[in-house]
Amino acid sequence: MNRIRAGAAALAAAAVMFVLYPALRPWHDESTAAGALAAMSASTWVPSHTFAMIGFILVPLGLLVLARTVAGTGSGRTLVAAFVTSTVGAGLVLPYYGAEAFGLHAIARQATTNPQIDLLALADQVRYDPIAISTFGIGLLALAVGATRPRPTRRADPGR
């Protein structure tokens, strides 16, 4: 029973983290230098992104506990697959979130004192690097797949 509570607590905590992320993230027009500077240099930029990263870590942990709880049942295989897929997805999105949280914040902090820094160009290099955006996109797709549950197949009734 403690295992079920632990899994549920991990998933509930992940939900809280995913609510805190957009609630605390500074929202400004990041297509302008002033907006990007205001958002990325804000004191809440790093903590808000960190909440999302914690959420991405907690989801697979919650699924692992639930998969172990229902091991040997028809749902066990589905939850193991969800755990594996979500873990891969989280692993692929976390580097991107780290670059957003720490890299863009550091660049923006430097740009506040050095107007020669082209924050928008550097932010685009961080965000739209082909490998970075590809792994992020694949990670998001893996998380989406991990969150879906295939329709259970019906077994033929041996008595018929």
Q: What is the pTM of this model?
A: 0.83
Which strand (E) or helix (H) includes residue 15? helix 2-24
Q: What is the pLDDT of residue 67?
A: 78
- Asked if 100 and 49 count as a contact pair (C-beta separation under 8 A), the reply is yes
Q: What is the pLDDT of residue 52?
A: 96
Q: What is the pLDDT of residue 152?
A: 54
> Based on the number of CB atoms within 10 Å of its own CB, is 92 exposed (0-12), middle (13-18) or buried (19 or more)?
buried
Q: What is the pLDDT of residue 150?
A: 56
Q: What is the pLDDT along the chain (160 residues), one digit of tens a residue?
A: 587 888 889 999 999 999 999 999 999 999 999 999 999 999 999 999 999 999 999 998 888 888 787 777 777 777 788 888 999 999 999 999 999 999 999 999 999 999 899 999 999 999 999 999 999 999 999 999 988 765 555 555 555 5
Alpha helical stretches, state H, 70-152:
74-98, 105-113, 119-128, 130-147
Q: What is the pLDDT of residue 80?
A: 81
